[in-house]
Structure 1
Amino acid sequence: MAALPLAPGSTVGILGGGQLGRMLALAAARLGFDVAVLERQADSPAGRVAMKLIVGAYEDEAALEELAQLTDVVTYEFENVPAKSVEWLVTRGVEVAPGPKALAVAQDRVAEKTFLNANGAPTVAFAEADTPEAAVAAVAQIGAPALMKTRREGYDGKGQRWVEHAADAARVFAELGSVPVIVEARADFVRELSIIAARGRDGGTAVYPLAENHHEKGILRRSIAPAKAPKALQDRAERISARVLSGLEYVGVIGIELFELRDGTLLVNEIAPRVHNTGHWTMDGCEVDQFEQHIRAVAGWSLGPTHPTHQVEMLNLLGEEALAWRRFAAEPETRVHLYGKREAKPGRKMGHINRVKPL
C-alpha cells in the first residue's frame, strides 16, 4: 500500500477513459502526478492525455493487475464501473477512493434513497418493484404521475419514464426492460440545484457554492454558479453534504443533485460519487476546481480553497455545437473546454464552455 500523502511523481490510476477521466488526468499532471487509465476503447479522451493506457474490460483481471502494479492509488470517473472490479483491487491492497461503499450505494437507486433518508438527507417518497404487478402497486402507493426508473444504470434521462396512471405501470415496466425499478413521487420543485463537496483522508471537508441547473430532455444544458441563494439555503445544502460524506466514509469529490421546494426545503435527487457535470463551472470560477480537488483528496493532500472568483454560466456543447469552437474562442468572456471526442453524435457531450464575469 502506498504511503500517503502521495509525493509528486507517484501514479494515479483512473477507471474510465471519458471526458471526466481526461480532466482528472490533466489536473493530476498539474500536481506532478503520472496517470494510468484503464479503458475499454483504444482511442479515448482520457487515454490520449495519460502516461499509460491499459486497454481492457473493467472486469479483466489481467488489466486490473497491470493497473494495480502501476499505480499508487486508483479512482474512477463514473459510478457504473463494476463494483467487483473495485473490490478486486481493494482485496489486493490497492488504495481505491472513493471506496466500495460509495459505489454500492450509488449504483442502486433504492439503496441510494434508503441511505440518504437514514442519514438525514430527505428525498421524495419512493417504492421498489421487481414485477409488473408490483410496479402497478408501487405507482398506486406513491400516486400518479410518478417517475419510474431502472434501479441500476441509466444517466442523462436514460432508463426512466413518467407513469401518468397506475394502469400504465405494467406497460412502462416492460418498456424499461422488465428489470427491477424504483418508483418516485413527483417533486413539486421551483428549481434544480447541486452542490459539489469534497472530503479528505483526514475527514476534513470543502464545499463549493450552490449551482442552479437547467436540463433539456434529461441532459444538463447549463449551470449558473454561484447560484442566487440566501445563506440559509447554502447552509442547508452544506449540512446535507456533510451527512452524506460522513455516512459514506467518503474520500474525494461528490456531486449531490437537489430539488428546491417553494418553502426552501431541499430534497436530494441523487448523488454521484465522482466529479460532476454541474461542477464544471469551478474550472474557471474557483481558486481550486473540482478536478484538482478530487486528486488532492485521493492522494491524501490537504484540500484546496473553494472560494468563487467569478460568476460563471456553464453550457454543455452537444453534438455539432462543438464545431462552433472558433466563435466561442473569440469571445473574451468565454473559456473553451473540448473533450477530444472523435465523432459528434446528437446529444453527445463534446465539451463545455464557461462564460465568466465578475462577482
Structure 2
Amino acid sequence: MSLAAGSTIGIIGGGQLGRMLAMAAARLGYRTVVLEPQPDCPAAQVANRQITAAYDDTAALAELAAVSAVVTYEFENVPVMAASALAITVPVYPPARALEVAQDRVAEKKFLNGIGIPTADFCPVDNDDELTAALKKFNGSGILKTRRMGYDGKGQRVFRNMETGGFAGTCEAMGNVPLILESFVAFEREISVIAARGMDGSLAAYDPAENVHRSGILHSSTLPARIGSETAAAAQAAAAEILAALDYVGVIGIEFFVLADGALLANEIAPRVHNSGHWTEAACIVSQFEQHIRAVAGLPLGNPGRHFDCVMENLVGDDILRIPALLAEPDLMLHLYGKAEARPGRKMGHFTRMSRYR
C-alpha cells in the first residue's frame, strides 16, 4: 500500500544526499524529518524538521519512529542496531541486511561472490603477519583498506611491488582495526549503475555512468559510458541480482571495474542514493532521488530513461570559485548544498553539463 500524500518520511543523515531526498519528497507531497547530530545541516534547510541527536540516540530514534510513516537513510554507516530497532515499530528501507553487507568490505565481497558476481581478489588482515602473507600472495602489491567506515579514499594505503616482510607497525598505523588487502585490478575504466527496486519487486536501472576519481573523491560521471551494450546490460543485470538477493527496497549504487575484454568486477555497493547518480537530476525523467522516495513510499517506480548526454562534476572545496563562470553556461544545471564553509576535500555542490538531446 502506498504512502498517502502529506505523510512524513524520516531520513537518517542530514548531508547533501538527505537534502536532495527531502527536496524530492516535497515534490511528491511528503513531509520530512531529519535525524542528524550537526545543527543546521544541509538537509535541515529544506526538510520540515530536524531532530538534533546522534544516530544511535535511543530517545531520538523513538521520536523519529513516532513521527514517521517510513524511515530511510542517506549513508551506509547508519548503526545496524539503530535500523533494526526502528524496524520494530516503523518500516525501514533499505533493509538492515543491506547495511550489514555494505558496512564491512569483507562481508560485501563474500556476499557478491556468493551470488556469482566476481570481485577483486582479497584477504582479511588483522595483524602485520597476515599483511605480510597477503602481500606475498599478491606479489607485493595491493590496496590495504579499513574494513569499515572508509569513504572518499580515506582509510587506505597502497603497496606497489614491495618486498614482502618488514611491515611492522602498519596495522597500528591504520588504527588497529580490521583491514582488508585487495589485489590490484588492471581495469580500463570505472563505471557505476544506479538501480531501484520497488516494494512489489519491480526494477528500474539507469544507464551506466563512467566515473573519474581524483584523490579518492569522485570528480566526474559521464554519460554515455565508453562501454559496449553487452557490458552495460551485464552491469544492470548484476544490479538486479544484488537487489533481489537483499530483498531490497529503494535506490542502490554499485561501482564496477571494466576490464579490457569488457568483463566486470564489482567494487563497491552503496545502499543509498549515490554521488555518481547526481546527473539523473538534470538528464532523466525521474531522478535517483525521486526514484528512491517512490520506492520507499510504495509508489510505482518511474521511467529511468535519459534524455541528454551529460557530464556531472563535483564542486570540491575552492571549486566554488567557479560558480560565476558555470552560471553563465546555457546548458548547465548547478546544485549547491548550502554548506557554510568550503574546506579541502569537502563537497560543496555539483553541476551537470548537458551536451546532446536524445
TM-score tier, shorter chain, comes to over 0.9
Following the alignment from structure 2 to structure 1, what is the Cα–Cα distance between the partners of residues 48 and 40? 14
What is the CA-CA distance between 1:167 and the residue it aligns to? 2.4
Q: How many residues get paired?
A: 355
Which deviations, in whole Å up to 9, do the C-alpha atoms of 1:257-310 show, x marking residues without a partner? Answer: 000000111000101000000000111111101000000001111100011110
What is the CA-CA distance between 1:178 and the residue it aligns to? 1.7
Q: Which runs of 5+ in 1 are unaligned?
A: none
8 Å contact kept, 1:156–1:218: yes
Partner of 1:251: 249
Partner of 1:331: 329
Partner of 2:27: 30
Partner of 1:90: 87
2:60 is matched with which residue: 52, 58, 63?
A: 63
What is the CA-CA distance between 1:226 and the residue it aligns to? 2.4
Instruction: Output the amino acid matched with 1:98.
Output: P
Instruction: Output the amino acid matched with 1:37.
Output: V
Partner of 1:225: 223
8 Å contact kept, 1:226–1:308: no
Instruction: Output the amino acid matched with 1:201.
Output: M
What is the CA-CA distance between 1:171 and the residue it aligns to? 3.9
8 Å contact kept, 1:151–1:180: yes
SS at match of 2:60: helix
Query: What aligned pairs does 1:90-239 form with structure 2 within 5 A after superposition?
Result: 90-91=87-88, 93-164=89-160, 165=162, 166-167=164-165, 169-239=167-237
What is the CA-CA distance between 1:325 and the residue it aligns to? 1.9
Partner of 2:282: 284
Which deviations, in whole Å up to 9, do the C-alpha atoms of 1:57-85 show, x marking residues without a partner? Answer: 01111111111111000000000111111
Following the alignment from structure 1 to structure 2, what is the Cα–Cα distance between the partners of residues 27 and 209? 20
SS at match of 1:47: helix
Instruction: Output the amino acid matched with 2:157.
Output: R
**Residues 34, 220 of structure 1: CA spacing in aligned structure 2 closer, same or farther, 3 A cutoff?**
same
8 Å contact kept, 1:142–1:183: no
1:275 is matched with which residue: 273, 276, 301?
A: 273
Which deviations, in whole Å up to 9, do the C-alpha atoms of 1:154-185 show, x marking residues without a partner? Answer: 10000111123232544432321121101111
Instruction: Output the amino acid matched with 2:108.
Output: E
Query: What aligned pairs does 1:3-14 form with structure 2 within 5 A after superposition?
Result: 4-14=1-11
Instruction: Output the amino acid matched with 2:329.
Output: E
Following the alignment from structure 1 to structure 2, what is the Cα–Cα distance between the partners of residues 229 and 216? 21
Q: TM-score, normalised by structure 2?
A: 0.97
Following the alignment from structure 2 to structure 1, what is the Cα–Cα distance between the partners of residues 248 and 177? 29
Partner of 1:304: 302
Which deviations, in whole Å up to 9, do the C-alpha atoms of 1:194-243 show, x marking residues without a partner? Answer: 11010000011000001000011101111101213321111111111111
Query: What aligned pairs does 1:65-80 form with structure 2 within 5 A after superposition?
Result: 65-80=62-77
**Residues 169, 211 of structure 1: CA spacing in aligned structure 2 closer, same or farther, 3 A cutoff?**
farther
Following the alignment from structure 2 to structure 1, what is the Cα–Cα distance between the partners of residues 215 and 63? 40
Partner of 2:292: 294
Identity across matched positions, percent: 53
Q: Which runs of 5+ in 2 are unaligned?
A: none
Following the alignment from structure 1 to structure 2, what is the Cα–Cα distance between the partners of residues 202 and 284? 27
Following the alignment from structure 1 to structure 2, what is the Cα–Cα distance between the partners of residues 159 and 337? 29
Following the alignment from structure 1 to structure 2, what is the Cα–Cα distance between the partners of residues 170 and 75? 42
User: Which stretch shifts more, 104-113 or 123-132?
Assistant: 123-132
**What is the RMSD of the two structures over their aligned residues, measured on CA atoms?**
1.1
SS at match of 1:232: helix
SS at match of 2:282: helix
8 Å contact kept, 2:124–2:180: yes
Instruction: Output the amino acid matched with 2:58.
Output: E
Partner of 1:18: 15
SS at match of 2:188: strand
